[in-house]
Chain A
Amino acid sequence: QQQVKQSPQSLIVQKGGISIINCAYENTAFDYFPWYQQFPGKGPALLIAIRPDVSEKKEGRFTISFNKSAKQFSLHIMDSQPGDSATYFCAASRNAGNMLTFGGGTRLMVKP
């Protein structure tokens, strides 16, 4: 019940294209859903996050879509750039201060 399932495991997108990464969760007590970006040898960097009271949040080229009834959320990267090539992790937590449960990660490659 604590799992967060992420797909796809890897993704190749052409420069300028849209990258879409999906996550699904089971625990309805989760109420915070962040996305992290990780470059090789670095720590995860918080990218964007959403709470279940909204269905979409946009920050620049990054958008989270959230479907509470389906218990799914996704990250859309518009106008994908080679610099976006990284591993992306979705995560979820129950309350402020609680542990993050991470998805398995998606390795994104944006081809020039």
Chain B
Amino acid sequence: EPEVTQTPSHQVTQMGQEVILRCVPISNHLYFYWYRQILGQKVEFLVSFYNNEISEKSEIFDDQFSVERPDGSNFTLKIRSTKLEDSAMYFCASSETTRGGYEQYFGPGTRLTVT
């Protein structure tokens, strides 16, 4: 069964450093998303991406964040200058939507620890 994959599973970085989180969405899906989950809290939307551009973003997704689809398979989230409060699980998700499907499928996540 196709699934969303994410790398790395755990990333430790120092405050102020740049990090890139990588995702491979399900191959025939057209919408891609990033969500984050601070430990013990709910899942929060960051950004959605469709047709090579951002379609929606939350207040959390400020100028420190960027997304990119560098090739036909990968989808990345970059945090330019990490802060302690960026420590969280980051989930990538994808959905098909060509036939009106709303289902979003999540990857296993990347645990980001900022020290």
Contact = CB atoms under 8 A, between A and B. Distances in A.
Nearest to A45: B106
Nearest to B47: A99
A43 B101 contact: no
Contact of A93 (B4, B30, B58, B102): B102
A96 B91 contact: no
A34 B102 CA distance: 9
Interface stretch (A11-19, A58-66, A78-86, A100-108): A100-108
A46 B103 CA distance: 8
B42 A96 contact: no
A1 B113 CA distance: 32
A99 B33 contact: yes
B107 interface: yes
B1 to A, nearest CB: 12
Contact of B104 (A95, A100, A103): A100
B42 to A, nearest CB: 5
A96 B104 CA distance: 9
Interface in A18-75: 32, 34, 36, 41-46, 49
Interface in B69-115: 91, 95, 97, 100-109
Given A43-B107, A43-B108, A44-B106, A96 B48 contact: no
Given A43-B108, A97-B31, 8 more contacts: A43-B109, A49-B103, A96-B97, A97-B55, A99-B58, A100-B43, A100-B104, A105-B42
